[in-house]
């Protein structure tokens, strides 16, 4: 098993309002089989033993499911491996002697809470505006009661794989949340269950996205490039079409 000696340059920020700075930490004997977050665990054990403050970073599942992890590694949201969340990245992607920079998501709508942890509740507020369908309570309906074509089911499922990690925002030069919001719009646009609330959903979610301070999409495509779930930028076109149709139908102002 080969071991690596690394130099880590990590963003340290004591609190939301404190000034932050990059700090340098050497780390020896890192196994190539460790995950990136395990490597940070080892660093933190070392820092604690030395009586220093450990580095705060977010995670939950460590399986690429929950969307809680998210670091900008060497300038790339989620690091060098395509279609891979930070928690699924392994140290075999790096080599002995490497210097690795580690920063939080950077966007006005995602303020830093501490070190590498940012506040992503803006996403929760957007989802609360329309990232759901309303269903009547009562006994469960038969799964095959509403037939859905395979093509539509596949497109809806692909959009639904968004894990709300925020990498798309971190990678976008405008800090736009368009890929995230478009995934939430698309996942129900393709399904009959989403049609009754279709107009209200897209109008409210786009309005909330603007209120949260995310930027506009200008088709850079960086979002799609870093998305760990491969959410297609085509969803943004679908969101725009849905938005314009809904605004015209309801007489809302198009922003
Ligand atoms: S669209 Fe992709 S990058 Fe953006 S929040 Fe969803 S999973 Fe993360
Ligand atoms: S910790 Fe859950 S997706 Fe990375």
- pLDDT given at position 56: 98
**For residue 70, which atom of ligand 2 is closest to its CA?**
4
- pLDDT given at position 120: 98
The mean pLDDT value for 171-190 works out to 97
The reported pTM is 0.96
Query: Could you give the dihedral angle defined by the CA atoms of residues 86, 113, 220 and 99, in that order, rounded to the nearest 10 degrees?
Result: -50
The mean pLDDT value for 10-38 works out to 97
Would you say residue 1 has pLDDT above 70?
Answer: no
The fold for domain 3-113 equals Ubiquitin-like (UB roll) (3.10.20)
- Distance separating alpha carbons of residues 235 and 163, to the nearest angstrom: 15
**For residue 88, which atom of ligand 2 is closest to its CA?**
4
The mean pLDDT value for 51-57 works out to 98
Ligand nearest to the CA of 184: 1
Would you say residue 255 has pLDDT above 70?
Answer: no
The share of the chain scoring above pLDDT 90, in percent, equals: 91
Q: Is 91 in the pocket of ligand 1 (CB under 6 A)?
A: no
pLDDT tens digits, 189-203: 999 989 999 999 999
- pLDDT given at position 2: 80
243 or 143, greater pLDDT:
243
Second CATH level (architecture) for the domain 122-250: Orthogonal Bundle (1.10)
- pLDDT given at position 145: 85
Ligand nearest to the CA of 70: 2
In the chain, residues under CATH classification 1.10.1060.10 are: 122-250
SS3 123: helix
Q: Is 228 in the pocket of ligand 2 (CB under 6 A)?
A: no
The mean pLDDT value for 37-62 works out to 98
- Distance separating alpha carbons of residues 66 and 123, to the nearest angstrom: 14
- Distance separating alpha carbons of residues 117 and 126, to the nearest angstrom: 20
- pLDDT given at position 189: 94
- pLDDT given at position 136: 82
Would you say residue 67 has pLDDT above 90?
Answer: yes
Residues 6+ apart with CB under 8 A from 18: none
Would you say residue 252 has pLDDT above 90?
Answer: no
Q: Is 61 in the pocket of ligand 2 (CB under 6 A)?
A: yes
DSSP calls for 125-164: HHHHHHSS-----SSPPPTTSS---HHHHHHHHHHHT---
The mean pLDDT value for 69-81 works out to 98
Spatial contact of 96 and 5, defined as CB atoms under 8 Å apart: yes
- pLDDT band for position 139 (50/70/90)? confident
In the chain, residues under CATH classification 3.10.20.30 are: 3-113
The mean pLDDT value for 68-81 works out to 98
Q: For the purposes of burial, counting CB atoms within 10 Å of the CB of 115, is it exposed (0-12), middle (13-18) or buried (19 or more)? A: buried
């Amino acid at each position: 098993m080969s071991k690596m000696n690394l130099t880590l340059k990590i963003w340290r920020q004591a609190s939301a309002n404190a000034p932050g700075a990059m700090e340098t930490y050497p780390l020896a004997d890192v196994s190539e089989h460790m995950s990136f977050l395990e490597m940070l665990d080892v660093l933190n054990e070392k820092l604690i033993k030395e009586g220093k403050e450990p580095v705060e970073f977010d995670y939950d599942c460590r399986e690429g499911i929950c969307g809680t992890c998210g670091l900008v590694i060497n300038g790339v949201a989620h690091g060098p491996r395509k279609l891979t969340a930070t928690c699924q990245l392994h140290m075999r992607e790096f080599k002995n002697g490497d210097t690795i920079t580690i920063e939080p998501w950077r966007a006005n709508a995602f303020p830093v809470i501490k070190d590498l942890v940012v506040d992503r509740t803006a996403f929760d507020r957007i989802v609360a505006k329309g990232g759901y369908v309303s269903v009547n309570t009562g006994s469960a309906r038969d799964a095959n009661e509403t037939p859905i074509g395979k093509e539509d089911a596949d497109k809806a499922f692909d959009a639904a794989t968004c894990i709300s990690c925020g990498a798309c925002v971190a990678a976008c030069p405008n800090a736009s949340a368009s890929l995230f919001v478009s995934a939430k719009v698309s996942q129900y646009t393709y399904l009959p269950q989403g049609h009754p609330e279709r107009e209200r959903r897209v109008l409210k979610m786009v309005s909330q996205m603007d209120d949260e301070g995310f930027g506009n999409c200008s088709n850079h495509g960086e979002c799609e490039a870093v998305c760990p779930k491969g959410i297609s930028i085509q969803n943004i076109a679908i969101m725009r079409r849905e938005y314009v149709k809904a605004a015209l139908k309801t007489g809302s102002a198009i922003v």
